[in-house]
Amino acid sequence: MTLDRFYPIFDNADWIERLVPLGIKLVQLRMKDTSPDVVTAHLERSKLVCARHGCTLIVNDYWQAAIDTRCDYIHLGQEDLDDADIAAIRAAGLRFGISTHDKTELRRALALAPDYIALGPIYPTILKKMKWHEQGVAKLATWRGLIGDTPLIAIGGMSIDRAAGAFDAGADVVAAVTDITLNDDPEERVSAWLKATR
C-alpha cells in the first residue's frame, strides 16, 4: 500500500469533514485525553467521509477504538507502545505506524515491523511540548539509510516551503498540523499542499 505524500493531522472529525473533500488521500485523527466514547463518535464520522472520498484514515493512539470501529490503520507513539496490544492489533488486521526520535526508539519500532516510521520534530513545533529538539532534515537521510523500504514520514514544524527539503532527504511523506489548522484559509492551504506534493 503506497501512502500519499501529504499527511495532515487533525484533532476532531469537524476538520476531516471540512477538508478531506478537497482531495486529501491520507489523514490522521489525533485526539488526546478524550473519552473512548467521544473518540468513537469522531471515528465513525471520519470513517464515513474518508470512505466517500477514497482517503486512508489513520487513528492516533486509540487502538482499541480503532479495532472496535473496524478501522484500517493506527499510529502509535513510543508511550502508546507501552500499553498497546500488538498481537490484538495484528489479529484485527490493522496496519500501524510508529513515532521515533532516536536510534533506541527506532530499533524498538523496527522490531515490530511497522507499516511506516515517523521521525520528528524535523523543525521546532508549537504543537506540543517535547523533550526532543529539532531533528533536522539530515537526520531524515540517516533514518532513510537505516529503515530500508519502510515508508518514512517527516513531521514537526513542516510547511510547504520545507517539504521539498524533507523529500530530498529521503522522506516519503510529509505530515502537517498547525500549518493548516492555524492558517487564515485552511482550504486554500490544503489546496496548495496538494499541488506541491502531487
Average pLDDT over residues 170-190: 97
Catalytic residue among 35, 128, 129, 131: 128
Cell of 185: 484559509
Per-residue pLDDT reduced to its tens digit, 84-127: 999 999 999 999 999 999 999 999 999 999 999 999 999 987 65
Locate the domains of the chain by residue range: 6-197
Told to judge if 99 belongs to the known catalytic residues of this protein, a careful annotator would answer yes
- Provide the 8-state DSSP code for 10: E
Told to judge if 128 belongs to the known catalytic residues of this protein, a careful annotator would answer yes
Per-residue pLDDT reduced to its tens digit, 7-49: 999 999 999 999 999 999 999 999 999 999 999 999 999 999 9
Task: Kindly give, in sequence order, each residue whose CB lies less than 8 Å from that of residue 135, ignoring residues fewer than 6 positions away.
Answer: 101, 119, 120, 121, 122, 156
Q: What is the pTM of this model?
A: 0.94
Catalytic residue among 5, 47, 95, 99: 99
> What proportion of the chain, given as a percentage, has pLDDT over 90?
92
| pLDDT grade for 134, boundaries at 50, 70 and 90 | confident
Catalytic residue among 25, 30, 162, 189: 30
pLDDT value of residue 132: 59
Told to judge if 70 belongs to the known catalytic residues of this protein, a careful annotator would answer no
pLDDT value of residue 131: 64
pLDDT value of residue 23: 98
The domain 6-197 is placed in CATH, from the list 3.40.50.920, 3.40.50.300, 3.20.20.70, 3.40.50.12160, at: 3.20.20.70
Is 152 in contact with 141 (CB distance < 8 Å)? no
| Longest Cα–Cα distance in the chain | 43
